[in-house]
Copies of this chain bind each other. A is one copy, B any other.
Amino acid sequence: MASNAVMEETLQILKDHKLRVTPQRHIILAYLVSHHNHPTVEIIRDALGKELPNMGASTIYNTLNTFVDHHLVVELQNGDGSTHYDYFGTPHYHAICTNCGRIVDVTYPGFSDTEKGLEKKTAEISGYMISGNHMEVYGLCPECQIKLGIKNNE
């Protein structure tokens, strides 16, 4: 599933973050790095069930929470009731379909400036010491626009 290159890369990521390397952490991180779906705990469990059949749900939750704490991964809600996770290797944000929950990664040249500008302004106004941000944009994905028979000129 995950290539050797990914396995080496993720091993290094864990070491860089001083996280104890366990098979569970390694395989979960490799899955997140090599997949661009935005999986839930259940999806990860199903996907990795063959390789680590006895992996407990608690372990997946613990592992993901650890990754979130280390800013390797971000949490996303798309309205289906469970949390989705996304490896955050390169800066981007998310467009989320309000009809089907589909999540896509988005970025563009200059996004980084937008982000930094928002953080700088926020620090000035609020006095917060900023450590990060989340931006999300909501709308209907192309498939749902067709499915719902909606025109662009509404």
Contacts and interface: CB of A to CB of B under 8 A. Distances in A.
A121 B115 CA distance: 14
Copy number of this protein in the oligomer?
2
Interface in A119-154: 119, 121-123, 125-142, 145, 150, 152, 154
Nearest to A104: B126
A63 interface: no
Contacts of A134: 134-136, 138
Given A129-B150, A134-B136, A138-B130, A114 B106 contact: no
Given A77-B77, A114-B117, A95 B138 contact: no
A131 B127 contact: no
Contacts of A114: 114, 117-118
A97 B145 contact: no
A133 B135 contact: yes
Contacts of A130: 95, 137-139
A139 B135 contact: no
Interface of A: 77, 93, 95, 97-98, 104, 106, 108, 111, 114, 117-119, 121-123, 125-142, 145, 150, 152, 154
